């Protein structure tokens, strides 16, 4: 085994990331028939998965692999590009490539028949490349590059159906909101670079890294480092759809469901959390409190919105935002490992929820096409009773929902408990208003149980609601094999066994043991480890029962649609409207003002100067013509007049000349007489 | 005759050849021009490959320039005033060499896009070749007088190229462009004369136009107007500061900076596609190059004093240009304003006087050279087919022109700074330089870099908005079916041009060392010179 040096391992890691890029390049550069590339891309991502698994077993809980090459030099600073593999990055490698492979397989059936299918495979390849690159690279600037590339491939995939107006709007919105976050990233990079003159993650954030030394020594340029932390967090809020930059994610549901599942649920949105983990030492306590509070607020807000939505994908989108909020709480309270743990479990169950929803949507769309009816095939109010037609989808989705609600024996139970318990312990050590954070997280997890089971009950229970209209043509059945088995695989990962042998205690989980732990030594009077799981589960089961009562038993949930609170939640706390008015309209208005200013004032001034020049030249022309030239003309005509006058004397007659002579002589004498002085 | 002279005068020869060729061959003029610029591309590639960035750091030492040619050109004995000494003095260093490559490539593409020109081909190609000569001359000249001659020589062909082959308001645009630029350069001439009388050749003792001598404070005659020690004043302003400002304004008009930018949208919009390409791809860079080569190097003390203002102008240009671009309905005008915004990064980077900032600014100029060329070429493609450039006239072009849409997306995303393309590295380092300036030399406050980064956000806004409006959705065209049949996808020649530009942008984005390695020593040398005061 000694043949595998560090260099070889990092080459393998690079290959893992590059294979999907080869997919992208191969499909876009080599022409061929439309819809090509499925096997090519599945093959490449499978190899990526195998390599990631291999790397995982070589590196997990062993040495860190760090290899770098010189990239370029500016001034005296050499910028390097390299690969940094630690527990976090190999875990992410496996997660991303596994879920990508599953979604690839699922897509073969889900996207079947799309005229631009080859583009779809290419874009997926680009995304996987960006995401895999993001988790292994060691230089902040290149992380930023992959970070944007991830956003770009997400842009391409959200707007995949580019003739759909809503889809293109959504893709634009997603990119611009993410760009706003990127400014934070860039600001962070600028601060880090100007402070430490390097962007090497290992040098900066390693155990004995520059940041750790600076923070420890207390001579830190404190304020700027705090700002850097906040700036990086801003980047994470955009990518991980946290308040106030969360509004793009629900709209991103305009993309294909398989994409929503891979990118907007399992992997890309988790990149924000990953980033926080990668550069964790930079966050000082102030920033951590901000992270925790934003996370808690976002989790709560998104959960309340999810209660009132009817589009199956939008409910799941808000659920994603809410769960990402949980991960942020974990990061904020120092439960780094728990945050990543939840990232992993969430990736599986949320991916499954989306894929199962995709199966439902797929069937509903077929149904709509067959009946040629006009209804929204994503609206859960049009569904119902699907458990009979799609039993497997139903069972897998139930499993995923249990995991999302954090019911025992699921993976979600372990990771959510880890977050809740550690946040309570953290709050105890902090005191003050931050004590609200764990309680709000608790409340949110109850809302979670309610909204997801509302979705389940409305979709799968009762009777099919459109049956009355098309009673003869109801032909909804299970999804095709490729989609079905992917869902089964994911469902297995929703159980506790993949993560821990003990179903009720998160502490035995291998993921947590491989990652840094919360530093707080709890000396609490409560034993949160017993209390929290019990309380959460009892209440969650009550919530599920309530949902069952409302949506299955009584068939008629209380009508709240006129309630202002309902309206407030249904309109997503009006964030979209406010942003539209304030920022979008504000910017366009500012832009048109700027253009008006440019045209009227700046260019107006130029034209004014030009016109003044013209007027001046007209005046000088006039002067030239009538005054200067006039004078010359006057002189000339005077000479002419005198000449004419003198010409009169030149008559040619001798007597006239004689007379003139006499007159001149006479004049002479007269003058001489009167002015003798001359 | 050395390589640089050949590079400069080859197009002139081609232009003369075109002039004497009979009219019957006018369809072949373009091939003559293409051959000339093709050879130029090969020569500049050769120069690039043989350029040793570390050895030839240039700036103020003649020995550190590559391919130096110095011949006495005009040498007049003026009696008591001494002798007038003007040299034919060429040479390249890390600041000028990249622009030779850029110019030859952009020129090559401009000739390729001249296929659309249909009238008066003899005049057109002859003027284009004259312009080419002037541009190459500007980047090679090291004698200020020679520089000025080439600099002014650019105006003449451009005036006619815009005024005769342009769009509807071509005459207005041409004269505006001409007067605007002339306004700057006339005052520049005064400063050149002032410098001439202030500087003497250390060996012969004559006054000299040699730029390298002007960069050395020891060569200034004590008590002369621009001598740093004399601290002369003109109108109550220190003479050296005034000289710097005058030169800066002359070059800033070319860059252009807000508020001296209004010639640009008009000239770009009215000019025919190839001329727009040259304007955006090369002409604007002469402004930036001039600031580095002349303003900063000859008046380093004034440059440091004015750095704050330069940075401010840069930030204002970035944001103001982007906002204006957002408000445009004409695609070409939008791209013109986006140039203002992107060139703002150049100024911001230069003002920081840090290695990161100046390298970023240099790369931004090169990157913008390729990308704006690509953008104007793309606009030309669509304008050529249906004679409209209004964003509202098009919708859903992706369905009927898929390849074109791919290239437009590449160009748009590259210019909004997508990583992997050159503009990303360039803008990132311009901003990083501006940000680190406070801790390195204290010239620029940090908020400037942060405000400048807003330009990156706005550029995403206007480009993506345009993309969504023009290319996505269901196809709907102003001209209906007629347009639909005319809007054919890009042909082989166009694909060749667009692909090669994409490759350049990608190469520089992924391997910025291709540019940085060649210029790094010169940038450091420049910073050393400036900090020397």
* Element (DSSP H or E) covering residue B93: none
Q: What percent of chain B has pLDDT over 70?
A: 99
Q: Would you give the end-to-end CA distance of chain A in angstroms?
A: 134
User: For residue B217, is it left (φ>0), alpha (ψ between -120 and 50) or beta?
Assistant: alpha
The pLDDT of residue A574 is: 84
What token pair was written down for A220? 């830190």
* Nearest-CA distance A169 → chain B (Å): 7
ipTM higher than the 0.85 cut: yes
Which residues from A are below 8 Å from B460, CB to CB?
175-176, 179
3-state secondary structure of A229: helix
Q: Write phi, then psi, for A676 (nearest 5 degrees).
A: -65, -20
Other Cβ atoms within 10 Å of A35 Cβ, number: 17
The C-alpha atoms of residue B86 and residue B76 are separated, in whole angstroms, by 9
> CA-to-CA distance for A343 and A324, rounded, in angstroms?
8
Q: What separation, in Å, do the N-terminal and C-terminal C-alpha atoms of chain B show?
A: 37
Query: What are the domain boundaries of chain B?
Result: 1-178+260-290, 304-533
Contact state of A145 with B431 under an 8 Å Cβ cutoff: no
Task: Identify the residue among A74, A80, A193 best suited for mutation to test binding to B, counting B beta carbons within 10 A and taking the highest.
Answer: A74
pLDDT at B117 over 60: yes
Cross-chain Cβ contact B456/A590 below 8 Å:
no
**Token pair 């801003």 in the structure block, residue:** A234
What does the CA dihedral A23, A25, A30, A35 come to, rounded to 10 degrees? 50
CB contact under 8 A, B429 and A74: yes
Q: Which residues in chain A have their CB less than 8 angstroms from residue B402's CB?
A: none
| Percent share of chain B, pLDDT over 90 | 40
Domain edges within chain A: 284-570, 579-647
What does the pLDDT read at residue B107? 93
Q: pTM for this one? A: 0.90
Residues of chain B with C-beta less than 8 angstroms from the C-beta of A149:
418-420
| Average pLDDT estimate for B51-55 | 81
Chain A nearest CA to B19, separation (Å): 35
Of the candidate ranges A164-168, A428-432, B192-196, B457-461, the one whose mean pLDDT is the lowest: A428-432
Q: Average model confidence (pLDDT) for chain B?
A: 88
Q: Is the CB of residue B397 less than 8 Å from the CB of residue B487?
A: yes
CB-CB under 8 Å, A163 with B396:
yes
Res. B38: pLDDT tops 90: yes
Whether residue A591 and residue B320 make contact (CB cut-off 8 A), yes or no, is no
Of A141, A172, A193, the CB nearest to B464: A172
Taking a C-beta distance cutoff of 8 angstroms, is the pair B381, B387 a contact?
A: no
Kindly list the distances between the CA atom of residue A480 and the CA atoms of A386, A483, A484, A487, A489, in Å, as whole numbers in the listed order. Answer: 16, 6, 6, 11, 15
Tell me phi and psi for residue A495, to 5 degrees.
-85, 165
* Cα A4 to chain centroid, rounded: 37
Neighbours of B76 (CB within 10 A): 11
Pairwise CB contact (< 8 Å): B326 & A588: yes
Closest CA in chain B for residue A156: B409
By C-alpha distance, the chain A residue nearest B455 is A183
The answer to whether B344 and B455 have CB atoms below 8 angstroms apart is yes
pLDDT at B83: 75
Distances from the Cα of A30 to the Cαs of A25, A468, B127, in angstroms?
8, 50, 41
User: Are the Cβ atoms of B438 and A186 closer than 8 angstroms?
Assistant: no
Q: A4 touching B, CB under 8 A? A: no
Beta bridge partners of B76: B84
The residues, ordered by sequence, that sit 6+ positions from A244 with a Cβ below 8 Å of its Cβ are: A237, A575
Helix, coil or strand: residue B221:
coil
What distance in Å separates the CA atoms of residue B512 and residue B427, rounded to the nearest whole number? 12
Measured between CB atoms, which of A74, A149, A169 is closest to B520? Answer: A74
What sign does the CA torsion over A344, A347, A353, A359 have? Answer: negative
Query: Considering only alpha carbons, which residue of chain B is nearest residue A591?
Result: B323
Residues 177-206 of chain A with CB under 8 A from chain B are 179-180, 182-183, 186-187, 189-191, 193-195
Q: Give the model confidence (pLDDT) of B352-399 as tens digits.
A: 999 999 999 999 999 999 999 999 999 999 988 888 888 888 888 888
Q: Which residues of A52-66 are buried (b: 16+ CB within 10 A; e: fewer)?
A: bbbbbebbbeeeebb
CB contact under 8 A, A172 and B450: no
CB-based burial, A198-227: b 16+ in 10 Å, e otherwise: bbbbbbbbbeebbbeebbeeeebeeebbbb
Higher-scoring residue by pLDDT: A207, B318: B318
- The pair of structure tokens assigned to A141 is 């600037």
Q: How far apart (Å, rounded) are the C-alpha atoms in residues A167 and A151?
A: 15
Q: How far is CA A150 from CA A33, A145, A160, A345, B429, in A?
A: 27, 9, 15, 21, 21
Angle at A615 between CA A609 and CA A617, to 5 degrees: 100
Q: Which pLDDT belongs to residue A231?
A: 92
Residues of chain A with pLDDT under 70: 1-4, 215-221, 467-474, 518-526, 555-557, 678
Q: Which residue of B258, B457, B518 to mutate against A (max A Cβ within 10 Å)?
A: B457
**Residue of chain A with shortest Cα separation from B441:** A194
Q: How many Cβ contacts (< 8 angstroms) between chains A and B?
A: 142
Q: How far is CA B388 from the centre of its chain?
A: 27
Distance set, CA A86 to CA A92, A150, A206, A643 (Å) = 10, 21, 11, 111
């Amino acid at each position: 085994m000694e043949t595998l040096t560090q260099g070889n391992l990092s080459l393998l890691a690079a290959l893992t990331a590059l294979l999907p890029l080869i997919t992208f390049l191969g499909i876009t550069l080599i022409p061929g028939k439309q819809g090509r590339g499925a096997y090519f891309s599945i093959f490449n991502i499978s190899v990526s998965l195998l390599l990631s698994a291999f790397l995982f077993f070589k590196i997990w809980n062993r040495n860190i692999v760090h290899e770098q090459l010189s990239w370029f030099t500016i001034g005296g600073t050499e910028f390097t590009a390299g690969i940094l593999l630690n527990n976090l990055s190999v875990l992410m490698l496996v997660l991303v490539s596994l879920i990508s492979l599953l979604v690839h397989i699922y897509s073969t059936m889900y996207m079947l028949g799309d005229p631009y299918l080859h583009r779809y495979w290419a874009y997926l390849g680009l995304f996987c490349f960006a995401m895999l690159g993001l988790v292994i690279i060691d230089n902040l600037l290149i992380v930023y590059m992959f970070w944007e590339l991830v956003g770009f491939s997400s842009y391409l995939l959200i707007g995949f159906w580019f003739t759909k107006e809503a889809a293109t709007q959504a893709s634009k919105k997603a990119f611009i909101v993410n760009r706003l976050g990127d400014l934070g990233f860039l600001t962070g990079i600028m601060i880090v670079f100007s402070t430490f003159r390097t962007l090497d993650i290992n040098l900066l954030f390693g155990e004995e890294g520059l940041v750790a030394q600076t923070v420890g020594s207390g001579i830190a340029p404190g304020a700027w480092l705090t700002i850097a932390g906040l700036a990086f967090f801003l980047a994470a809020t955009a990518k991980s759809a946290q308040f106030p930059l969360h509004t793009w994610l629900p709209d991103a549901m305009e993309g294909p469901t398989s994409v929503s599942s891979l990118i907007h649920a399992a992997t890309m949105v988790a990149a924000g959390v990953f980033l926080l983990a990668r550069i964790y030492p930079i966050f000082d306590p102030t920033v951590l409190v901000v992270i925790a509070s934003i996370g808690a607020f976002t989790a709560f807000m998104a959960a309340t919105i999810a209660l009132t939505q009817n589009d199956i994908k939008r409910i799941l989108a808000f659920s994603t935002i809410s769960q990402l909020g949980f991960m942020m709480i974990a990061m904020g309270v120092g439960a780094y490992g728990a945050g990543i743990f939840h990232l992993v479990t969430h990736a599986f169950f949320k991916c499954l929820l989306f894929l199962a929803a995709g199966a439902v949507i797929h069937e509903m769309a077929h149904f709509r096409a067959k009946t040629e009816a006009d209804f929204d095939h994503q609206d859960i109010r049009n569904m119902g009773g699907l458990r009979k037609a799609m039993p497997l989808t139903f069972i897998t989705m139930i499993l995923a929902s249990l995991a999302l609600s954090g019911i025992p024996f699921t993976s979600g139970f372990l990771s959510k408990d880890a977050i809740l318990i550690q946040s309570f312990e953290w709050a105890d050590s902090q005191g003050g208003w931050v004590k609200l954070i764990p309680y709000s997280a608790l409340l949110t997890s109850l809302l979670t149980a309610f909204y997801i089971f509302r979705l389940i009950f409305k979709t799968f229970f009762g009777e099919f609601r459109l049956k009355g209209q098309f009673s003869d043509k109801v032909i909804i059945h299970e999804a095709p094999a490729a989609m079905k088995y992917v869902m089964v695989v994911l469902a297995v990962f929703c159980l506790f066994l993949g993560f821990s042998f003990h179903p009720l205690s998160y502490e035995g989980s291998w993921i947590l043991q491989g990652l840094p732990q919360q530093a707080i030594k709890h000396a609490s009077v409560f034993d949160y480890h017993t209390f929290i799981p019990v309380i959460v589960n009892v209440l969650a089961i009550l919530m599920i029962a309530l949902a069952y009562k409302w949506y299955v038993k009584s068939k008629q949930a209380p009508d709240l649609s006129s309630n202002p609170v309902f309206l407030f939640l249904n309109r997503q706390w009006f964030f979209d409207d406010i942003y539209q008015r304030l920022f979008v309209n504000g910017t366009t208005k500012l832009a048109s003002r700027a253009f008006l200013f440019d045209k009227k004032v700046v260019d107006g001034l130029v034209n004014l100067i030009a016109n003044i020049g013209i007027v001046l030249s007209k005046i000088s022309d006039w002067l030239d013509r009538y005054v200067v030239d006039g004078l010359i003309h006057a002189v000339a005509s005077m000479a002419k007049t005198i000449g004419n006058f003198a010409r009169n004397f030149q008559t040619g007659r001798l007597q006239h000349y004689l007379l003139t002579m006499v007159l001149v002589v006479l004049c002479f004498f007269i003058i001489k007489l009167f002015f003798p002085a001359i | 005759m050395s390589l640089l002279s050949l590079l400069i005068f080859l197009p002139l020869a081609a232009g003369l050849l075109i002039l004497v060729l009979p009219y019957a061959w006018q369809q072949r003029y373009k091939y003559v021009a293409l051959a000339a610029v093709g050879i130029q591309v090969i020569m500049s590639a050769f120069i690039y490959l043989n350029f040793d960035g570390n050895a030839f750091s240039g700036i103020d030492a003649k020995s550190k320039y590559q391919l130096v040619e110095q011949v006495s050109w005009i040498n007049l004995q003026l009696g008591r005033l001494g002798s007038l000494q003007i040299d034919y003095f060429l040479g390249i260093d890390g600041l000028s060499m990249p622009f030779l490559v850029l110019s030859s490539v952009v020129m090559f593409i401009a000739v390729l896009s001249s296929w659309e020109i249909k009238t008066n081909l003899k005049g057109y190609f002859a003027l284009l070749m004259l312009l080419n000569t002037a541009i190459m001359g500007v980047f090679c000249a090291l004698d200020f007088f020679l520089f000025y001659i080439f600099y002014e020589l650019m105006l003449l062909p451009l005036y006619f190229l815009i005024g005769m082959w342009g769009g509807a308001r071509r005459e207005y645009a041409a004269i505006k462009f001409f007067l605007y630029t002339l306004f700057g350069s006339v005052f520049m001439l005064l400063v050149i004369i002032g410098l001439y009388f202030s500087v003497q050749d250390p060996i012969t003792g004559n006054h000299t136009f040699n730029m390298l001598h002007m960069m050395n404070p020891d060569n200034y005659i004590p008590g002369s107007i621009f001598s740093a020690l004399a601290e002369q004043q003109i109108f109550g302003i220190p003479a050296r500061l005034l000289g710097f400002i005058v030169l800066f304004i002359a070059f800033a008009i070319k860059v252009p900076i807000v508020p001296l930018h209004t010639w640009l949208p008009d000239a770009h919009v009215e000019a025919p596609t190839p001329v727009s390409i040259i304007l955006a791809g090369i002409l604007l860079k002469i402004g930036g190059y001039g600031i580095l080569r002349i303003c900063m190097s000859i008046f380093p003390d004034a440059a440091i004093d004015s750095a704050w203002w330069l940075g401010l102008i840069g930030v204002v240009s970035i944001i103001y240009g982007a906002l204006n671009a957002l408000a445009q309905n004409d695609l070409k005008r939008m791209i013109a304003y986006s140039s203002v915004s992107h060139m703002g990064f150049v100024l911001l980077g230069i003002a920081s006087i840090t290695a990161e900032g100046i390298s970023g600014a240099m790369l931004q100029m090169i990157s913008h050279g390729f990308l704006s060329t690509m953008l104007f070429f793309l606009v030309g493609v669509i304008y050529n087919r249906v004679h409209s450039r209004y964003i509202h006239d098009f919708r859903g072009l992706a369905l009927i022109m898929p390849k074109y849409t791919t290239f437009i997306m590449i160009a748009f995303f590259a210019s909004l700074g997508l990583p992997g393309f050159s503009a990303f590295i360039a803008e990132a380092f311009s901003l990083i330089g501006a940000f680190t300036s406070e801790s390195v030399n204290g010239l620029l406050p940090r908020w400037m870099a942060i405000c400048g980064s807003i330009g990156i956000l706005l550029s995403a806004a206007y480009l993506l908005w345009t993309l969504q409006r023009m290319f996505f959705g269901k196809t709907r065209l102003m001209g209906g079916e007629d347009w639909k049949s005319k809007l054919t996808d890009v042909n082989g020649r166009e694909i060749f041009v667009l692909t090669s530009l994409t490759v350049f942008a990608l190469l520089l984005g992924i391997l910025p060392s291709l540019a940085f390695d060649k210029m790094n020593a010169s940038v450091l040398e420049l910073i050393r010179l400036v900090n020397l005061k």
